[in-house]
Structure 1
């Protein structure tokens, strides 16, 4: 027995046409391409969620740079007076 499930989705016709062209070029079915795209999306989303949680944990620990410092650093990028990247500071007692 296969360890898969069937999912139905509505696609704009123009997207389906492009998907068929890509499938033909790579000799892959639309089903394969859609499964790959969803798999990539899920993996990216898991990484994004992990990064967000890591950031939230850093904030709870007080290990972050002040917004104004980061903004000033970002504005200086590429300029003759480029600032050093701000260090994370412990600004609140945990």
Structure 2
């Protein structure tokens, strides 16, 4: 018994053409390439969800930077004088 399943998806024809070209270049089937792409997406989604939960936990314990401080820091990145990263250690008012 195989531990795989079959799924069906509609792709734009242009995407299918590109997928076939890539498969030919790497000597891989479309099925293999699609499985790899979905696997990568699922792995990234797991990481994203874990990061979101980590952020929620940090917010609940009061470890966050104020929005205006974070925005000013982000805008300064790549400039001649980037700001220091905002301090995440905050005490929330009870």
Matched, 1:52 2:84: no
Matched, 1:19 2:44: no
- TM-score, length basis structure 2: 0.91
Matched, 1:82 2:78: no
Structure 1 spans left out of the alignment, 5+ residues: none
Looking at structure 1, the residues matched to 34 and 54 of structure 2 have their Cα atoms a distance apart, in angstroms, of 30
Give the drift of 1:93.
4.5
Q: Deviations over 1:68-92 (max 9, x none)?
A: 1111222222334432111113231
Structure with the largest fraction of strand: 1
Structure 2 spans left out of the alignment, 5+ residues: none
- TM-score, length basis structure 1: 0.91
Aligned residues: 94
What is the Cα-based RMSD across aligned positions, in Å? 1.4
